Chains A and B, each alone.
Chain A
Amino acid sequence: MELNQLTIHELQEKLKNGETSAVKVAESVFNRINAVEERVHSYIRLMKEEAMSAAEQSDKDLQSGKAGPLSGIPVALKDIVCTKGITTTCGSHILHNFIPPYDATVVEKLASAGAVFVGKANMDEFAMGSSTETSYFGPTRNPWDLTRIPGGSSGGSAAAVAADECIASIGSDTGGSIRQPAALCGVVGLKPTYGRVSRFGLIAFASSLDQIGPFTKDVEDCAIMMNVLAGYDPLESTSVKAEVPDYRQYVGRDVQGWKIGIPKEYFIEGIDPEVSAAVKDAIAVIEKNGGQCVDISLPHTEYCLAVYYIIAPAEASSNLARYDGVKYGLRTSEARDLLEMYKKTRREGFGAEVKRRIVIGTYALSSGYYDAYYKKASQVRALIKHDFEEAFKKCDIILTPTTPTPAFKIGEKTDNPLQMYLSDIFTISTNLAGIPGMSVPCGFTAAGLPIGMQFLAGHFEEGKLIQIASVYEKNAQIEKRRPRL
């Protein structure tokens, strides 16, 4: 196996006992990038120079005993987290030249843990999309089938891990943007509890839903990443001062006697039969290892998408008002007056999906419609959260498919926004309720496309997700495959 194909914990071992060096690991990752990036297009920007000098530093730290938990580990950052001195575009033309004078809190945390940043990963523009096709910098392709989408919006981060163009990566999840691409690319993806990982420096899409989380090659790596990422941040008002456990201690603990909630609303017609079968097999594995399935109901499930498509665009319409051509980013060259400057800058700077959502969101907040849309949606959101509170009285974990179908073809849904939105149907409720959710690979379709299933837990119970996911991962014995590129 090449170094770039290993997991964090495997590399930690090899780096610790001197079997390899951080520089060699980084070189191996960049060799892989040289070989496949042209076809996959996981990255908007590579940071080779910075990475190589960070790797050298890691080697020094490893030798002097000052190594952090991620020393020498090549990590990709979704281009939605701000990096000091390095262009951060959010996949948009309007920020194509924006150089933040600050680091996101997660970037600081990863850097001080020793992580080596490989580059800024591709994404749907402003994280608005489920396919990474709306990126101003062109689409990312699914490493398992280059004619298909990798999912989105963190498609670049998921594809980079799947294609071994990094060891782990950072994504953000507003309605499924970590879990859906993790499922479609066959990697592990976790969206933590709202408030668990700092949003400071995360370019906002929908502030009340956004959360940063990791993509990794296995569950243990996910725990290692969470140990670095989680924690209270005084720079964020919505950050929560809850104790952070050592997530790694949950790996491998049994789930004997756990009640696994199976929500009937998530096993409906319209799910791809191969997805359905894979998830049922996974349930059987968990039952065999001590889990007990219970039927539960999340009665407001059918309203989640509607609530989401009011709240997320409404918040986005306001969050994206700052891109006005005054302080940074693109400004049109054709304006004769201020109004024209605004309108043309935003026309040239935003892609169609972003404009569409700004228009929906502005409409939902506008005078005369606020109560019917935004207020109504916020009330139904409370009902959805309540559904989960009730459900978790009956079970420890909820299990669902991550997506209704495997990866679809590039271009297949770009002209039908509603169809595109429906691919997030199983992931959105998590963000609305603020609970953590994790997607874990659970098999392949006959055509060789990855399938993922999703575990959900109560607020701040990421440990439980890691625990059950590791039990499943160990016992499912899913064939180890790598995409043929």
Chain B
Amino acid sequence: MEFETIIGLEVHAQLLTDTKIFCNCSTKFGGSPNSHTCPLCLGMPGVLPVLNKKVVEYAMKMSLATNSNINKSCSFARKNYFYPDLPKGYQISQYAYPLSEHGYILLDVEGEQKKIGITRIHMEEDAGKLVHDEHNPSSYVDLNRAGVPLIEIVSEPDMRSPAEAADYLKRLHEILVYLEICDGNMEEGSFRCDANVSIRPLGQKEFGTRTELKNMNSFRNVQRALEYEVKRQQYLVENGGTVVQETRLWDDAQGVTNSMRSKEEAHDYRYFPDPDLVPVIVDDAWIEKIRKELPELPLARRQRFVSDYQIPAYDASVLTADKALADYFEEVVKLCSKPKAASNWVMGDVLRFLNEEKRDIRNCPITAQALAEMISLIEDGTISGKMAKDIIDEMYKTGKSPRVIIAEKGMVQITDESALAKTIQTIMDANPNQLKDYRSGKEKLFGFFVGQVMKATQGKANPQKVNELLKKMLVG
């Protein structure tokens, strides 16, 4: 039997505000335990939440960037459950009235654009962190993260393969980082993903029973977990079993998903409107103000790179995957007006250097100005492409500008025809046999002469000029 895979994703993104969603404590990661805390985020009695306006504006940005409709009025609800990392015994979230609904983003699926629906985007607070003691039957609670703002982005069950799901996740990640509202760090948990997955026989309309997957902390793991789970469900159905609705945890080491059922109990979150918070009313003027603040989004930028710079779609997608990289590239282009060369150098040498050292483009020793200068020096013939390879190495190592390196190493290209002709004449005189053979038809020897010229000039001869002169002079 052939099956179709149905996947929907729930993404939690931590927002890059300075303070928590309902109090003035810092959101900074890595403080000593329970140091970014106050009576409010400690859940002490009598203290009251007041909403951080920036949280609403960041969530609005993501809503607009994903073509979602921002509701005129939205409000907060309490999700009630007991857990030591949840100091109030409830999480403040949005339930019946989320900030925005009915959005979508576009994916490239086999050369065609596919819409993935976004059901809703809502604001909520993060929980604290638990550390488990390996030697004692104790757990330790750190509430620094309690109250850090999150948005939850819930997709429609529109994805039809694990690869599509991974692609959707990358696009969403890209948008969040472009908007500069989330740092996107999956290991530190600032970008988290849960997946709902089910299968159904091809052609069937109704959805199959779904499972919820958790604990996947990288793009790769999301895809691996989904692939495993799809296979597991298929195997189950093909062998007369049925899929049970449950939560399953991805085990990275074993490469399998395991049921949480044994420890899970019936959830009854008793949502109700939070009486301590008031509705958020968003008018058109506010939406327009936020819309004006939106940067160019990755998809639009990609398309513009292809049309404006005439570079391949693949290159455009590599260059726009990171906003800072795309900014760098555009800066280089602006300064040297050679988009193709700029793309080749950035995608080739610059990215290779950065990847080798796991460095960020923001900390690249080769500034956009320096790279643009180098490209211009090639174009005007001051240096050869081959020389440039050595120069860029040096630029990366030292952070020096290409002109400085060229001057220090005396690397300027020899383009003076009379000087080159003199060198060629000396070489012809020193190699009479080769010259004779060449003149009698052994044209392959042309390369030999080029090599000799380069050797004699330590590679500084302008190759084009050498070619021209050799062609003339060898014929005699």
By a beta-carbon cutoff of 8 Å, the part of chain A in contact with chain B is: 81-82, 88, 90, 95, 98, 100-102, 104, 199-204, 206-208, 234-238, 314-315, 317-318, 320-324, 326-328, 337-338, 342, 362, 365-367, 370, 374
Contacts and interface: CB of A to CB of B under 8 A. Distances in A.
A324 B272 contact: no
Interface of B: 39, 42-51, 78, 80, 82, 84, 87-90, 137, 139, 141, 268, 270-272, 275-278
A324 B46 CA distance: 16
Contacts of A202: 46
B48 A235 contact: yes
Contacts of B49: 237
Contacts, number: 102
Interface of B is mostly: loop
8 contacts: A100-B45, A102-B44, A199-B48, A200-B48, A204-B46, A315-B272, A318-B272, A322-B44
- Residue of A104, A199, A202, A321 with most chain B CB atoms under a 10 A cut-off: A321
A92 B90 CA distance: 21
Contact of B276 (A88, A207, A234, A322): A207
Nearest to A102: B39
Nearest to A337: B137
A312 to B, nearest CB: 11
A374 B275 CA distance: 13
Contacts of A366: 268, 270
Given A82-B45, A203-B45, A204-B45, A322 B89 contact: yes
Given A208-B275, A365-B271, 17 more contacts: A98-B45, A101-B39, A204-B45, A235-B50, A236-B48, A236-B276, A237-B51, A314-B272, A317-B270, A318-B78, A318-B272, A322-B43, A324-B89, A326-B141, A327-B43, A362-B270, A365-B272
Nearest to A374: B272
B325 to A, nearest CB: 42
A201 B84 contact: no
A394 B466 CA distance: 105
A203 B46 contact: yes
Contact of B275 (A201, A315, A317): A315
B89 A200 contact: no
Contacts of B48: 199-200, 235-237
Contacts of A234: 50
Contact of B268 (A207, A322, A367): A367
A248 B250 CA distance: 67
B88 A321 contact: yes
A208 B90 CA distance: 17
A100 B47 CA distance: 10
Contact of A321 (B39, B50, B80): B80
Nearest to B51: A237
B47 A321 contact: no
A342 B82 contact: yes
Contact of A238 (B84, B137, B278): B278
Nearest to A320: B89
A142 to B, nearest CB: 28
Nearest to A200: B48
Nearest to A82: B46
A322 B88 contact: yes
A171 to B, nearest CB: 15
Contacts of A88: 45
A238 B51 CA distance: 11
Contacts of A367: 268, 270
A102 B47 contact: yes
A230 B272 CA distance: 29
Contact of A322 (B50, B87, B271): B87
B276 A201 contact: no
Nearest to A239: B48
Contacts of A203: 45-46
- Residue of B139, B275, B277, B278 with most chain A CB atoms under a 10 A cut-off: B275
B50 A237 contact: yes
B270 A365 contact: yes
Given A237-B50, A322-B87, A322-B89, A90 B45 contact: yes
Contacts of A324: 82, 84, 89
Nearest to B37: A327
B378 to A, nearest CB: 61
B272 A370 contact: yes
A75 B350 CA distance: 73
B270 A318 contact: yes
B44 A328 contact: yes
Contacts of B88: 321-322
B24 to A, nearest CB: 10
Contacts of B270: 317-318, 362, 365-367, 370
A233 B80 CA distance: 27
Contacts of B278: 237-238
A199 B46 CA distance: 8
Given A321-B82, A321-B90, A365-B270, A207 B275 contact: yes
Contact of A201 (B46, B78, B268): B46
A147 B414 CA distance: 114
> Which 9 residue pairs spanning A and B have beta carbons closest together?
A321-B89, A208-B275, A365-B270, A207-B275, A203-B45, A201-B46, A322-B43, A203-B46, A367-B268
A469 B275 CA distance: 32
Nearest to A208: B275
Contacts of B46: 81-82, 100, 104, 199-204
B149 to A, nearest CB: 16
A322 B45 contact: yes
Contacts of A370: 270-272
- Residue of B47, B49, B82 with most chain A CB atoms under a 10 A cut-off: B47
Contacts of B47: 102, 200-201
A338 B39 CA distance: 23
A65 B82 CA distance: 53
Contacts of A208: 275
Contact of B277 (A237, A338, A362): A237
Contacts of A321: 80, 82, 88-90
Nearest to A342: B82
Nearest to B42: A327
Nearest to B85: A326
Nearest to B88: A322
A334 to B, nearest CB: 15
Nearest to A314: B272
Contacts of A200: 46-48
A336 to B, nearest CB: 9
B281 to A, nearest CB: 13
Given A82-B46, A318-B80, A318-B270, A237 B276 contact: yes
Contacts of B90: 318, 321
A314 B78 CA distance: 11
Contacts of A365: 80, 270-272
Contacts of B141: 326
A90 to B, nearest CB: 7
Contacts of B275: 206-208, 238, 315
- Residue of B90, B139, B270, B277 with most chain A CB atoms under a 10 A cut-off: B270
A342 B78 CA distance: 20
Nearest to B80: A318
B270 to A, nearest CB: 4
B50 A326 contact: no
Nearest to A369: B270
Nearest to B76: A237
Nearest to A339: B82
A238 B80 contact: no
Contact of B89 (A236, A318, A374): A318
Contacts of B137: 337
A323 B45 CA distance: 9
A201 B45 CA distance: 7
A326 B84 contact: yes
B38 to A, nearest CB: 9
B160 to A, nearest CB: 32
B57 to A, nearest CB: 17
Contacts of B80: 317-318, 321, 365
Contacts of B43: 322, 327
